[in-house]
Structure 1
Amino acid sequence: MPVRSLSRRVLGLGAVGVLATSSAVLSAVGTAHAAPASFAGTVTAGATPADTAITVPDGYCALRWELVGGQGGAAGDHLGRRGGRLVGTTAVAAGDHFLLQPGQAGGVAGSEPVGGHSGSQPSGEAGDATQGGGGGASVVRRGTSPGGERFAVVFGGAGADATGADASGGAGGDGNLIAEPAWLPTHPHSMGVAATEGDGHISYTGVACTAPQAPFLYDVVPGDAPGSLQITFNPPVSSPVDGRAAITGYEVSLDGGSTWRALTPSSMGSPHRAVVTGLAPAVYRVAVRATSAVGPSEQSSYVTRSLQRRLGVPTGITATVGATSMRIAWQAPTDATGITGYRVRASAVVDWDHLERLPEVGIVDCEVGAGERSCLVGVEPGWAYDVSVYAVGEPGTSVETGSTTALTTEVVPEPRPAAVVPESSGPLVPKTPLDDVTGGERIEVSGTGYLPNSTVVLIVYSTPQVLGTVVTDGTGAFTNTVLLPAGLPAGSHTLVASGVDPDGNPHDLTSPVTVTASSTGVTGTGGADAAATGTTPATTSASGLASTGADVALPVVVALVTLTAGAGLVVAGRRCTAE
């Protein structure tokens, strides 16, 4: 009779490695969406061995197993070897059939030294008068046939020998086999010798299905076709024994997970690729998830991508240059779809010899709504400007387009004060009364209602003398201190702040001045201290208008030269008005 050592059988288990350790792995699989009825049981071999068939019900994706082989039969005072023990978890599907054949203990030497059965099938070797029979192996088979494919097997123990030899009785039913094909070697099963004596048993516990893990989203890029996005992702990675439900498909969200639609991969390689079509220009937050019979997986992280529309190009650009200002006009594109406004840019043409003046003369940007067709911008006298117009759309959804024609304007002329006091648009407000002042005195005045960030010229009449210029603040107001000419004759005069209103019309605020005495022999210098937010000291223009107190000789025929389109220097970032 052959003798098979226990050590050889235990070593045989190491080459199988298909059942996965249950408790550590399955604790991380999550919670099933709807827990099914309990599915568990234990089948023990008895005096009349039998097979027990089970069928996996809906809602279960794995089974935890414990297989214990039958003990070998006793001989005299010596007990047979205990059977093996195998514990682990296998992936299953609803409707899978298994036949359970627990190992029976071997017979006692002498009286009836039969080998133990595996269910209805013979398994352990028979003993004799001095040797106990071998214990039966515990076997799980696929299907319902007693002789079908063995899915899991654990050995039975060897029978004892009455002479005390090392369990050299009937050999136990052989086998340490797990035939589950989708096993992971990183999840080894537990194997060893049973802690119990007697008949073997097979226990099983169903592991309810949980949703798949989240896919891994690699990237989202605009597709080849207009209005499409190409999505690249990897399917969820999980062990087949962790209770995850089978993936039935994929879904995509374009709003970060609020709503979902079906997603059909065009490539099922690694990674998967899919294309979503029929999308309007917009900013999309793309995420994917897997679907299953028990519900969807968690969503992947999302990727933000934009589909952009190329906007139409404005046409018919014109620029009408006035004193310290220009009005830029254009026509809307034939297709104005997606346009939310226009951006107008006037850039001073500065040569290398005057490059240091660039921060001063600057770049003027005018932003207006989609319904506007012109805007008024303040510019620095003495310079020409390059002008262009751009259509703009919603941020992230449109590609800004340039002008069909960018033009260069003529040089912006210097402002020229009127020969006589212009018609007043309202009062110029002095800080203190001006009914008793002297030549050479500093006075503070304030005005409102001008084009924001535009240039205002301060002039004293009767004979017009330019006292300086000031730039209004963002509300079209200023406060400034000027120096009256020292030689200003005694009598009545008029102080004028001449500029343009937000519509480009002349805006001349006036204040009467009464000079009671004159400081003779001294001519004042232009400008003085800025006195409030948004103002600068009164200064001469870039080309030197006139120093404060100097007479401006004008021919009688010179009509009132307005600053109709006039506005002062507007540097980069300064807003403008539109029509």
Structure 2
Amino acid sequence: MQLTSPSRRALGLAAAGVLSLSTLVIGLPGTATAETLEIIAFDADETGSVEVPLTGYCAVDWWVVGGSGGAGQEDGAAVPGTAGGEIRGTSAVTGGEIFSFSAGTVGADADVDGGGAGGTNAEEPDLDGGAGGTVHDADDLAVGGGGGGGAASVVTGPEGFSLIAYGGDGGGDHGGLGAGEGANVVDADLTDLVDGAYDAVGFHGRIEGQILPCAPEEEVVLTAPLAPTGLSAVDGDGRVTVRFDPTWSEDENGTDADAWEYSLDGVHYEPADVAWDEAYRKEAFTLIGLTNGTTYSIRVRGVSDLAGHGTPSEPVTSRPFVAPGAPGGVTVTPGTASVRVGWSAASSAGTYGIHHYAVDLIMSGGEMGDRSTVCEVPAGAPLTCLVGLRTEAGYTYRIVVSAVDGVGHSGADSAVVPVGTPSAPSVPATVPTSNGDLTRPAGQSGSVAAGSAVEISGSGYLPGSTVSLIVYSTPQVVGSAVADENGRFTATVTLPAGLTSGAHTLVASGVDPSGNPRYLTLPVTVTGGTATAATTGGLAYTGASVALPALGGLAALALGGALVVAGRRTRA
């Protein structure tokens, strides 16, 4: 406990005499259970040394005061000296440190016989106070003098530790200087430091040391690892590979996992042999010896060497299985903007039985080159399907078939079969019989100027198939489109600038989901075309040969939409 200034002052008031060197030996193992000790005090009334063996002490609370200056005599009146220096504060200590102490005395008062003697420091004579001078009358007789200067009080310790509280100056014009000449020396790290002069005069120097117990250490509670995230499970035959993302703690008391554990029941955990999977940028481990056809709910948690088990992850479901066998006998028959695919049943049904067959199209060229599922045929249905294809130059296709079981596992692939070149939609010599109407955007039902663009939409086509766009009476191919997953398309075509003014017909030629020809038509009135024209069958002549639709390059440069196939999903 640090003493307050009044209690220290009370101790100082009782001090008198001269102190020889004393020694305090402090042994500090560093526990926090020691009791507060009595104050160890040294002043001008004491001599000798003190050895204090301590257990669990970490600091010393210091109070060091230098001796005051003595009073002087001037014209028969006493002139008080100045107060000694004062140092208060607390320093840290470690076991086995030794501190030495020597307190200074007050300077002597002057009297009619002359100045007072300076105060003394028994161990540090160079810190004694100066003697006061003598005052003489005209007959050179002593009639008084200045008070003696006070001696400094000193504490020294290891590694240059030093506290020197200066002595006060003697009173009167002839007073002696106090030791240290008014400047305390604090060569130590002290907290709550007070460095100045004591608030009273006439007192001997004094040194007090209060040995303080170590402060209790703040208990630090470490938090266990956080739950990992992003779990995924890849099932196999009696096995599963689990991947996950660790969650790193941002709390200064948080801990990260030093190891990992997994659980199949949410209660019992076993060590997981985790390694970094560079391909997926995740941590991963594989479990073997699992039972095919059994559903497992897998959780993962981290383990810290310091804080124990962490929070478990959310579960990920695993169903080990034997996959279905590969289908056989895959055949492909190219048709108009399509291919007919057939195959034979898979060699084995696997753990969960066959739910359906997936026909995948591998397309190369253009802006795509991936594998996507374009047809799903339920088990027990005829093993065939019609797949829509683009007919523009630069595209090649391959077909592969696999069986998919009742929980979504894909079985082994069939042989990969190349597809021959599909034929483009037909371009009849005259306007064909319509299967329905093409449409224009709302509010756009008027005539169209020759050489200008017109937007048209149609539906009912084989998803993924090319649709040729033709203007009549003499047919000209003015563009193409690709039916989306719903069999629809929207395209913008530019009417030839050489069309004659008058009535014409736009035709969208393709195939329906069964592979049958499908024609949608739209009558359109052209303005601003050529003034005269031959007629064929009563319709205005459009100025182009029927052979022109065979120019595949023109069709490839037209407005074909992006390939989006019905039910197509990219396979992992």
TM-score of Structure 1 vs Structure 2, range by shorter chain: 0.3 to 0.5
The structure with the larger Rg is 2
Q: Which has the larger strand fraction?
A: 2
TM-score normalised by structure 1 residue count: 0.43
